[in-house]
Amino acid sequence: MESSPVEVDHVRAAYLDLMQESLIGRLNEDPPLPASKVDGYRADYRDQGWDWPSKAPSMIGAQRMSNVRTQCERVIREGVPGDLMETGVWRGGACIMMRAVLSAYAIRDRRVIAADSFDGFPAPSAPADAGFQFSDHDAFAVPLEEVKAAFARYRLLDDQVVFLKGFFKDTLPSAPVEALAILRLDGDMYESTMDGLVNLYRKVSPGGTLIADDYYLFEAQRKAVDEFRAEHDIADPIVRIDHFGGYWIKCA
């Protein structure tokens, strides 16, 4: 007997709810990395992504993970063409959510593109990044094999996931991408954000979503986004997600 649309919706939502809780480390109350300087697991911190989980694949917290999910579901529902891409993937969690949404909707003709050095942040070179000294911070250098292993544990590693390894300034100008329905910028720094905008924003389809993970937290990311929007007369309103992130839907 075939499942009814209501039953399909129910099972799909249950799967994605569980994925979200697992990916941010709330399901198993994954304690924070010592570098987070937080004493023990706190559900309210994990809601906003204030700490970094020691094992779970994402540091973005429940609000921003929910935003990834709902925007991916929206572009699928509305038929906005293109792949789903993140620049700055760390352990891969937000990209795993993108792939999980494709799986939940049985979508075969869109890909997830995951771009990262898989070796941590670059040394700052733009004046706006002068204070951002994380290039020797081991916690951010997650090797590609570890990220692939995380996708595999969720049974989501396949040919619909493309990894772009290297610093954005080298990989993004020739990224093998024609159209994007979602572009999620999570490289924190001014230069990393600008590299994403300059090389990829024109590929975002009308109706697609641009997510700036740290727009409200890091001045460097906000500066890059604001400069790019001003230069390209982008007036689409920025919607606040939580203490950290914002997004807008590209009108044209």
**Angstrom distance (rounded) from CA 36 to CA 53:** 8
Q: Which CB sits closer to ligand SAM, 152 or 251?
A: 152
Among 16, 188, 210, 211, binds ligand SAM (CB under 6 A): 188
Q: Are 151 and 99 in contact (CB under 8 A)?
A: yes
Residues in the chain: 252
Q: Which CB sits closer to ligand SAM, 75 or 129?
A: 129
Residues that contact ligand SAM, how many (by CB under 6 A):
22
DSSP string of 46-106? HHHT-S-BSSSS--SHHHHHHHHHHHHHHHHHHT--SEEEEE--TTSHHHHHHHHHHHHTT
Q: Which CB sits closer to ligand SAM, 116 or 205?
A: 116
Token reading at 20: 């979200």
Token reading at 247: 């997004």
Token reading at 22: 């697992």
Could you give the string, one character per residue 148-187, with x where binding to ligand SAM holds by CB under 6 A and - elsewhere?
A: -------------------xx-----------------xx
Q: Are 108 and 207 in contact (CB under 8 A)?
A: no
Q: Hey, which residues between 60 and 99 contact ligand SAM (CB under 6 A)?
A: 60, 86, 88-90, 93-94
- Is there binding between residue 221 and ligand SAM (CB under 6 A)? no
- Is there binding between residue 120 and ligand SAM (CB under 6 A)? yes
Residues that bind ligand SAM (CB under 6 A): 58-60, 86, 88-90, 93-94, 116-117, 120-122, 140, 167-168, 186-189, 192
